[in-house]
Amino acid sequence: MFNVIGFMLTGITLGYLFRNLTIFQKTEKTISLTIILLLFVLGISVGSNPTIINNLGKFGWQAAIIALSATCGSILVSWLVLKYFFKQEGGNK
């Protein structure tokens, strides 16, 4: 766990120090592709695990409820932050 946090903090520090280099300003597409690849590998891992597949009916509903709750909570908090911290002057929104 500390290794992961250490790598993340090292990346944040290096990103901050070298933020003005043009090569680091064009990483947006690479990051998206890396996340897609990680999700694909995670899907392969889940699909090849017989315990998860055999209990998908039980875990599936729990996962769906947790995901739906997290999504609704994120939308609610985002709306509250937008409403109370980003007020526009003059009444026009």
Q: Which pLDDT score is estimated for 28? A: 79
Asked if 52 contacts 59 with a C-beta cutoff of 8 angstroms, the reply is: yes
What is the DSSP secondary-structure string of 30-86? HHHHHHHHHHHHHHHHHHT-HHHHHTHHHHHHHHHHHHHHHHHHHHHHHHHHHHHHS
The pTM for the full model equals: 0.51
Q: What is the pLDDT of residues 48-89, one digit of tens each?
A: 999 988 888 887 788 889 999 999 999 999 999 998 888 766
